[in-house]
Amino acid sequence: MSSRQSITLNTGSQLFVNTDTSKIFLGGNYTRQEAFINNSGYNPIVLPAGTVMGRIASSGIIAPFNSAASNGTQFVCGILTDDVSLDAGATETCSLTVAGRVAQDKVSFFPTSFGQTIETVVAGRRIKDKIMAETTGILLVVSNEMTDYDNS
């Protein structure tokens, strides 16, 4: 479960914080550990859980999915299981979800400047269909689907 907080009001004497405790990964998930290298201009980056990832074909390293790329990251290999914070040029092992039920409204893309959403059409196929077809078995579901006992 991931918890996100946003401050909606801070007057100095009052603080209102919204906390989102909804689940990204809804059950039956299979994860594996993968290496991720931050070499994107050597700037620190933060990738939230739920970020769609691809794999650079020449090195085998995972990187954020980019539908316009031609280096292998245009193919989905999984979704980040946990938040990842990387300093410039750092290497980190990340947990990548490759199968299971994922809340489609919690899936995200990095950087947002690419303008990608799960509804973006790439080569005649929506990205949400690419996610389900190109991974081991990720099934995107609406987060209020109540088909299993653990969806509270």
In this structure, what token pair is assigned to residue 46?
Answer: 């933060």
Beta bridge partners of 97: 31, 79
DSSP letters, 59-103, are T--EEE--TT-SSSTTSEEEEESS-EEE-TT-EEEEEEEEEEEEE
Mean of per-residue pLDDT scores for the chain: 84
DSSP letters, 4-47, are EEEEEEE-SS-EEEEEE---SEEEEEEEEEEEEE--STT--EEE
8 Å CB contact between 34 and 84? no
pLDDT tier for residue 2 given thresholds of 50, 70 and 90 = very low
CA distances (Å), origin 71, targets 56, 102, 122: 6, 26, 15
Over the stretch 97-122, which tens digit does the pLDDT of each residue have?
Answer: 999 999 999 999 988 867 899 999 98
Over the stretch 64-105, which tens digit does the pLDDT of each residue have?
Answer: 999 889 999 999 999 999 999 888 778 888 999 999 999 999
Domains annotated on the chain, with CATH:
22-141 (2.40.300.10)
Over the stretch 17-39, which tens digit does the pLDDT of each residue have?
Answer: 877 667 888 888 999 999 887 76
Give residue for tokens 């300093």.
Answer: 87
Query: Rounded to an integer, what distance in angstroms lies between the CA atom of residue 92 and that of residue 89?
Result: 10
Query: Rounded to an integer, what distance in angstroms lies between the CA atom of residue 67 and that of residue 34?
Result: 21
